[in-house]
Amino acid sequence: MSSSGPQEHGPSSEEPMPTRGRSPASLAGLLNTEREALLEDWCARVSPLFTTLRLSQEQLVDALPALLDELHTALVDAEEDADGLPPLHHSEAAGAHGRQRLRLGADVSLVTREYALLRDCILSRAERADVDVPLHQLRVLGASIDNALAQAVIPFAFDSAERRHIEVEERERFFQLSPDMFCVAGLDGYFKRVNTYFVSVLGWSEAELYQHPFMDLIHPDDRASTQEEMRKLAHGIPTLRFQNRFRTRDGRYRWLAWASRPAPELGLIYAAARDITEQKTVAQEREQLLEVVRDSEARFRNMADHAPVMLWVTDVQGATTYMNRGWYAFTGQTEATGLGFGWFDAIHPDDLERTQRTFTESNAARQPFRLDYRLRGTDGHYRWAVDTGSPRFDADGHFLGYIGSVIDISDRKQAEVDREALLARESAARREAEEANQLKDEFLATISHELRTPLTAILGWVQLLRTGTLPAPRQERALETIERNARAQGQLIEDLLDVSRIVSGKLKLDVSPVDLSAVVQQALESVQPAADARRIEVRATVDTTSSVMGDPHRLQQVVWNLLSNAVKFTPKGGHVRLVVARRDSIVELTVEDTGQGISEAFLPHVFERFRQADGGSTRKTGGLGLGLAIVRHIVEMHGGTVSAASDGEGRGATFTVRLPLSVTQWRDPTMPPSPKPPVAERMPSPPPELGGVRVLVVDDEEDARELLSTLLEDSGARVVTAGSALEGLQVLQAEHPDVLVSDIGMPVTDGYGFIERVRALSAEKGGHTPAVAITAYARSEDRTRVLRAGFQSHVPKPVEPGELLAVIASLADRYPALPKA
C-alpha cells in the first residue's frame, strides 16, 4: 500500500536534510541517508516470509517509507531532549500496514517477524555505518517499533473477535435451521437444549422436553438398548447408527436414527437424529413384498424345474440370469457355464450367428421372437429345438429382460424334413414327368415337321415330273430338290435309329486305328457345299500325327455333326474354324464358330436329347435336337469327353472333343445297317382348273414356295409369294388374292400369329380372304387349333397336290365344297 499522509511530528520542511555520501552522525540521520539501502535490506529479509502469498515488491514495501518517516521524527525529538520526549506511541503507517497485511491473508506472527526484522535491519545498517547510538536512542527505537507493531496487530484483533462472533451466530443458525434433529442432553437423562426441527418432529414444546427424563418418551421395547447406549456414552464412546422409537405428542411413535458424541468432563451429550419413520415403513413394506416375491420365486422355480420344457430368464442386457433344471439336464451345462451368455456354447456352429443376431435385435427392439436352432445334448449330438421369448416389463413399463422356453422338436423336425424330402421327390418326379411329356410332345411335333417337310418337296416334284410337262431346266431342278430332301430325311431317320440304339445299348463301335486328318477331311467335304452356299469361310488346322483307336465312321459322324451345326447356326459371311492338335496324352478337336451362340440358361442342356434352344413353331432352324446327344455318346464310348462353351447369344460357340491316344472302352463291331424308309406310291389324278384364281403363298422355305407356285401356276392360278408373315401381310394388302396359302412353322411370327393379324384387317384390306394352312404338325389337336385360329382348311405335309388344288378350288368357288373337316 502507499504510505499514509503527513505526520503530526514529521520533520520541518525548512530543516535541511543530511547530504548523501557523508557518514550519518546519528540514528535519525541514518534513516535518511541509508533509506534505499535499508529498504532493500529489509525486503530481502522479509520476502521469504511471504512466498506463499506471492506479494509484489510494491505490496511488500507498502507503508514502510511512511513508518520510517515516523521513526525518524521520534528519534530527532529524542536527540533534542533525551530525557523528556517519549517514543512513538501512535502510528498511522503501522495501522495501515496491518490492515493491508490482513487483507492479503497474512497472520499476526508474520507481521510480528516483519517488525523484528525492521529493528535488526536498522541496527545492522547503523553498525556498518559506524554510527554511535546512545542508549536512550536505542530505547526510543525499540519502544517505537514495539508501539508500531501494536498498532499493526489491532486490525487482526478486531478481525478475530468479529469472526468468533460470526461463528457463534452461524452455529446457532445452523443448530436452529438444520433439517436434522439436534439436541444437547445431559448424562443425568434430561434434554438440555433442542433445536426447532426436534420440536417440530416430536410435537412437544421445548419446556415439556426439558421437564421430563427423555427415557419416558422412548418405546418400552427400545429402553433397554437405549440404556446400554447411554452407558457407552458415559464412558466416552460415541454412538453411530443407533435407532429407537420416540413417542410424539399425539401418542404415536417415530423411528429416530442417532449419531452422538459425549463430553463426559462436562456431563453432556451432543447428538443429531434423523426421522427415519418413512424409510422404516417402506423397508417393512419392501421386506413384506420381497417375502412375497421370494415365495413366488420359490414356487416359480419349483414349477420351472419340474416343467417338461426348458425355461430361461434374461436381464436388460440380454444376459441369462436363470435356466431351469431341464436346460442343464438336456445340455449338460451348469449354472457356472450356462448363465450369462455361456448358453450360446451349446448352439450348433452353423446356427450360432443367426441365433445371436435374433437375440440381439429382439432385445434392442423389445419384441417377441421365435426361432429354431440345433442344441447340443449331453451325448454330444445336436437336436432341433424351438426357442420362444417374450419381453418382461414392470408396472411402470420399464423393460426388465426376457422370459422364454425351449422345446425339443427333433421328432417333429425330422418328420418335416421327411415330408419335405418326400414332397421334393414327388415334385421332382412330377416335373420330370411333365418335362418328359412336354419333350415328348415337342419331339413328336418336331419329328412330324422334320419328316413331312422334305416329303412335301419330294412328293410335289415327283407329281410334277410325272406329268411330263416340265421343261428340262425345271426337271433338273426337281431332281436336285428331291435328292437333297431325301438325304435330309434319311439323316433324320438315321439319327432316330442311333438314339434308339443308344437307349437300348445296341450302339457298337468298329474299332481300328483312325487317322483323324482323313476323318476331318471327309467331314469338311460333306459340309463345304452348304458353307459355300451361305458364303461361310471354313478353316481347318489339323495335326497330321493325331491318330486314335476308334470307329472311323462314328468319329466322322461326330466331326460332321459339329461342323454342320456350326454352319447351320452361323449367319451368312461368318467363319467356322476347326483345329485338331495333340495335348499330352490326348487329342483335342475344337470347332469354333461366329454364329448365334448359346444362352447361359440353355448351355447345361445342350447335349441332352430332344432339347433345342429354339423350340416350338417359331424356330429358325430345323432338326430333331439329337445330333449333339449322339455326339456326346459316341465320344464317351471312345473314352473321351465333349464340352461346349459360349459367351452368350450372338457371340458364337466353341465345342471341344478330347480323345485319348489309346482307347480301352469299346464294343464288339457289328453295326446294323439303317433301314431305308418306305415310299408310298400315289396315282396321279387330274387336278381342278384354277384359271384366273389369285393365290398368295406364304412359306419361309424357298423349296416349298417354289413347289407350290409351280403346282398352282400349272393349274392356271396367278401366284404371288412371301417368305415371312410380315412380308405376307404386305403382299396381301397390295395384291388382294382370292385365296391365302400359309405354312404354320415359320420363324419370328408363325402361321397362327400371321392369320390372327390377317383376321384383324378390314374386308377391304383382305381380312376375310379364305385361308389354307399347310403344316407338318398333323395331330388332331393341331388341326383343331388351325381351324380355331381362323383358317378355313388344313392340309398336312407332305402336301398331296390334288388335295391342295381341290381345297383351293373349293375356297375360290371353282370346285364343289369339301366336307367339313
Which cell numbers in the block locate residue 532? 459355300
Show Cβ contacts of residue 161 under 8 Å, excluding neighbours closer than 6 positions. Answer: none
Residue 13 is predicted with a pLDDT of 36
pLDDT at 446: 62
**Residue 729: predicted pLDDT:** 95
Residue 306's pLDDT is: 74
DSSP symbol at 34:
T
- Is 438 part of any domain? no
pLDDT of 554-578, one tens digit each?
888 899 889 988 988 899 889 999 9
450 pLDDT tier (thresholds 50, 70, 90): low
Question: Does residue 697 have a pLDDT over 70?
Answer: yes
Res. 624: pLDDT tops 60: no
pLDDT at residue 750, rounded to an integer? 92
Phi, psi values for residue 549, rounded to 5°: -95, 125
292 domain-assigned: no
pLDDT value at position 495? Answer: 66
How does 738-770 read in b/e, with b if 16+ C-beta sit within 10 Å?
Answer: bbbbbbbbbeebbbbebbebbeeeeeeebeebb
Question: What b/e readout covers 454-491, taking b as 16+ CB neighbours within 10 angstroms?
Answer: bbbbbbbbbbbeeeeebeeeeeebbeebbeebbebbeb
Predicted pLDDT at 615: 54
- What CATH number does residue 104 fall under? 1.10.490
Rounded to whole angstroms, how far apart are CA atoms 309 and 330? 10
Residue 143 domain-assigned?
A: yes
Express each pLDDT in 764-821 by its tens digit: 999 999 999 998 766 667 788 899 999 999 888 778 888 899 999 999 886 544 444 3
Together in a domain, 160 and 191: no
In this structure, the dihedral spanned by the alpha carbons of residues 479, 483, 486 and 487, taken in order and rounded to 10 degrees, is: -170
**CATH number assigned to the domain comprising residue 317:** 3.30.450.20
Round to whole Å and give the CA distance between 683 and 466: 10
Mean pLDDT, residues 737-745: 93
Residues 606 and 630 in one domain: yes
Residue 435: pLDDT band (50, 70, 90) is: confident
Same structural domain for residues 721 and 633?
no
Q: DSSP letter for 389, please.
A: E
Query: Residue 138 half-sphere exposure, CB side, CA atoms within 13 Å?
Result: 10
Residues 821 and 783 sit within 8 Å (Cβ to Cβ): yes
Average model confidence (pLDDT) across the chain = 80
Strand partners, 644: 655
How much is the pLDDT for 486? 77
Asked if 626 and 514 count as a contact pair (C-beta separation under 8 A), the reply is no
Place 704 in a pLDDT band, splitting at 50, 70 and 90: confident
* DSSP strand pairing (739-743 vs 694-698): parallel
Q: Which residues have C-beta within 8 Å of that of residue 670, sequence separation ≥ 6?
A: 508
Query: Given the C-alpha cell 418405546, which residue does it identify?
Result: 219
Q: Which residue has the cell 457463534?
A: 168
Between CA 150 and CA 156 the distance in angstroms is: 10
How would you label 545-570 residue by residue, b for 16+ Cβ within 10 Å and e otherwise? ebbbbbbbebbbbbbbbbbbbbbbbb
Clarify whether residues 643 and 548 are in a common domain: yes
Could you tell me if residue 446 is inside a domain?
A: no
Query: Which has more pLDDT, 610 or 616?
Result: 610
Q: What is the pLDDT of residue 478?
A: 82
Tell me which amino acid residue 144 is: S
User: pLDDT value at position 618?
Assistant: 46
**Inside any domain, residue 817:** no
SS3 288: helix
381 pLDDT above the threshold of 70: yes
- Report the C-alpha gap between 115 and 127 in whole angstroms: 19
Neighbours of 249 (CB within 10 A): 12
Is the same domain home to 162 and 192? no
How far is 767 from 729, CA to CA, in rounded Å?
10
Amino acid at 55: L
165 and 200 assigned to the same domain: no
Q: What is the 3-state secondary structure (H, E, C) of 726-742?
A: HHHHHHHHHHCCCEEEE
Question: What percentage of residues in the chain have a pLDDT greater than 70?
Answer: 80
Residue 663's pLDDT band, with cuts at 50, 70 and 90, is very low
- CA–CA separation, 672 and 232 (whole Å): 128
Task: Provide the whole-model pTM.
Answer: 0.34
pLDDT at 459: 80
Alpha helices in 534-626 (DSSP H): 552-568
Q: Crossing angle for the helix pair 35-46 and 108-128, nearest 10 degrees?
A: 140
Q: Are 515 and 641 in the same domain?
A: yes
182-186, 330-334, 444-448, 503-507: segment of lowest average pLDDT: 444-448
Q: Is residue 501 part of a domain?
A: no
Residue 431 is assigned to a structural domain of this protein: no
Give Rg (Cα) of the chain.
Answer: 63
Q: Look at the block and give the residue holding cell 530543516.
A: 15
Reported confidence tier of residue 107, pLDDT bands at 50, 70, 90: confident
pLDDT of residue 602: 84
466 within some domain: no
Closest by CA to 439, choosing from 609, 553, 605, 310, is: 609
Share of the chain above pLDDT 90, in %: 33
Considering the domain architecture, whether residues 219 and 343 belong to the same structural domain is answered as no
Provide the b/e sequence for 413-428 (b: ≥16 CB within 10 Å): beeeeeeeeeeeeeee
Facing residues of 87 across strands? Answer: none
Do 377 and 518 reside in the same domain of the chain? no
- Are 506 and 667 in contact by the 8 Å Cβ rule? The answer is no
Which of these, 605, 601, 591, lies nearest to 656 by C-alpha position? 591
- Find cell 421343261 and name the residue: 471
Please say which residue of 353, 380, 408 terminates a domain. 408
Residue 163 sits in the same domain as residue 231 = no
Q: Ranked by mean pLDDT, which of 265-279, 659-673, 718-732, 802-816 comes out on top?
A: 718-732
Q: End of a domain among 150, 173, 196?
A: 173
Q: What is the C-alpha separation between 120 and 44, in angstroms, rounded?
A: 13
Least confident of 159-173, 249-263, 265-279, 448-462: 159-173
Q: Which among 5-19, 498-512, 528-542, 658-672 has the top mean pLDDT? A: 528-542
pLDDT exceeds 60 at position 22:
no
Ranges 189-198, 238-247, 547-556: which has the least confidence:
547-556
Asked if the model's pLDDT at residue 625 lies above 80, the reply is no
Indicate if the pLDDT at residue 8 is higher than 80. no
| Same domain as 242, residue 317 | no
For residue 680, the model assigns a pLDDT of: 36
pLDDT for res 772: 95
- Residue 718's pLDDT is what? 94
Which of 517, 520, 459, 463 is CA-nearest to residue 677? Answer: 459
Report how many domains make up the chain.
Answer: 5
pLDDT at 176: 64
- Domain holding 715, by residue range, is 694-811
Is there a single domain that holds both residue 103 and residue 196?
no
Q: What are phi and psi of 227, to 5 degrees?
A: -65, -35
Peptide bond into 798 cis (omega under 30): yes
The residue out of 173, 206, 239 marking a domain boundary is: 173
pLDDT of residue 167: 62
Q: What is the pLDDT of residue 634?
A: 86
